[in-house]
């Protein structure tokens, strides 16, 4: 008993990380202005990791009924039970109301993992993308690889191109793919380290569906920056992120076939990196139009809390207690 108590305190210590005051002050100012009354409850969740929840995405390439039984016994239930416009039966994800993390599986060469732990909101961009068998897919900023794994749970693409510019994150992406995807299928996946801003020129009109899960200010992790200088620098560089996101989106539009669609996502609440970027794209690219995703939001409104007043082609998941998913911004566009 004493040992388990020690272990529990050790994990609690790990979870009760120090909040970075510089970042919190910055967010306080910005998000009070942008989110109004919603910010206070969002802040309570973001600054208190002990109430965070984690979803368990099952790997259909190493399926285990025993695992599903264990999850149900521990109070987990299948996520996304509403009448979604797109929900492949092969995508299985379990969530529960109570906070806490199911134990992670270690990477073992030659052995596929049975599940992937993630924020349930990060499956919404994948569901919005509506990937079908045989389509050519590009995941433009693919590391660490959770969304790529989820895409492959949904369908078997014709060609699947996963790109990650950052060297370290690219290695992480490769390891994720090796951990979840069997060899014959891995051979059909292209992993590249290209600058995403050049993808459109290198591969014009090659893809049916593109996911741009853009580099952004990651609100959850930034709040716990241990290095004050690094945090301050991040907040200064934050202003340049929207320009990068815009360039990545423009490149993705070039790489998209006419008739193809694109989903843009971030894990920040920041308006400058979310709706402002999308509005700029819609105002400057005459060959794209917004796609209504409000039906998807309606179908999952039991499990996710959304910011009200957004446009029909976008949603912003707001974390709240008992539904501590997000932040996650999603917008969908179609190329004419």
- Residue 154's pLDDT is what? 98
- Residue 5's pLDDT is what? 42
Q: Note the pLDDT tens digit of each residue in 155-207.
A: 999 999 999 999 999 999 999 999 999 998 998 899 999 999 999 999 999 99
Residue 242, token pair as written in the block = 């929207």
Q: Note the pLDDT tens digit of each residue in 23-38.
A: 999 999 999 999 999 9
**What residues are designated binding site for S-adenosyl-L-methionine?**
141-147, 164, 195, 213
Per-residue pLDDT band at 109 (split at 50, 70, 90): confident
- The string of DSSP codes covering 184-197 is HHHTTEEEE---GG
More confident residue, 311 or 13: 311
Q: Clarify whether 285 is annotated catalytic.
A: no
Q: Note the pLDDT tens digit of each residue in 110-151.
A: 899 999 999 999 999 999 999 999 999 999 999 999 999 999
Checking if the pLDDT of 268 tops 70, the result is yes
Average of pLDDT values for 228-237?
94
Active-site annotation holder among 20, 51, 267, 285: 267
Query: The pTM is what?
Result: 0.94
- Residue 15's pLDDT is what? 47
Average pLDDT, the chain: 94
| Percent of the chain predicted with pLDDT > 90 | 92
Question: Could you tell me the residue ranges of all domains in the chain?
Answer: 17-335
- Residue 16's pLDDT is what? 57
CATH number of 17-335: 3.40.50.150
């Amino acid at each position: 008993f004493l040992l388990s108590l020690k272990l529990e305190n050790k994990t609690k210590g790990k979870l009760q990380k120090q909040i970075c005051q510089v970042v919190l002050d910055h967010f306080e100012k910005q998000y009070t202005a942008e989110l109004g009354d919603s910010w206070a409850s969002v802040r309570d969740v973001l600054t208190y990791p002990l109430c965070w929840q984690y979803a368990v995405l099952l790997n259909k390439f190493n399926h285990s009924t025993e695992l599903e039984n264990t999850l149900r016994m521990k109070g987990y239930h299948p996520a996304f039970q509403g009448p979604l416009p797109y929900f492949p039966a092969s995508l299985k994800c379990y969530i529960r109301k109570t906070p806490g993390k199911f134990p992670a599986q270690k990477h073992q060469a030659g052995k596929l993992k049975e599940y992937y732990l993630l924020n349930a909101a990060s499956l919404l961009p994948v569901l919005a993308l509506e990937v079908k068998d045989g389509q050519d897919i590009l995941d433009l900023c693919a590391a660490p690889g959770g969304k790529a794994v989820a895409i492959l749970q949904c369908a078997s693409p014709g060609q699947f191109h996963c790109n990650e510019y950052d060297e370290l994150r690219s290695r992480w992406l490769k390891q994720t793919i090796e951990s979840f995807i069997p060899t014959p299928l891995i051979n059909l996946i292209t992993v590249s380290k290209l600058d995403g801003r050049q993808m459109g020129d290198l591969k014009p009109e090659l893809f049916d569906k593109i996911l741009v899960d853009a580099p952004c200010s990651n609100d959850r992790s930034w709040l716990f920056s241990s290095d004050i200088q690094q945090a301050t620098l991040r907040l200064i560089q934050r202003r340049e992120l929207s320009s990068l996101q815009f360039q990545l989106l423009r490149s993705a539009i070039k790489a998209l076939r006419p008739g193809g669609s694109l989903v843009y996502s971030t894990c920040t609440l920041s308006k400058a990196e979310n709706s402002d970027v999308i509005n700029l794209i819609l105002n400057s690219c005459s060959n794209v139009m917004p796609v209504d995703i409000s039906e998807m939001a309606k179908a999952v409104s039991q499990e996710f809390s959304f910011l009200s007043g957004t446009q029909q082609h976008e949603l912003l998941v707001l974390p709240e207690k008992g539904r501590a998913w997000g932040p996650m911004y999603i917008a969908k566009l179609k190329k004419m």
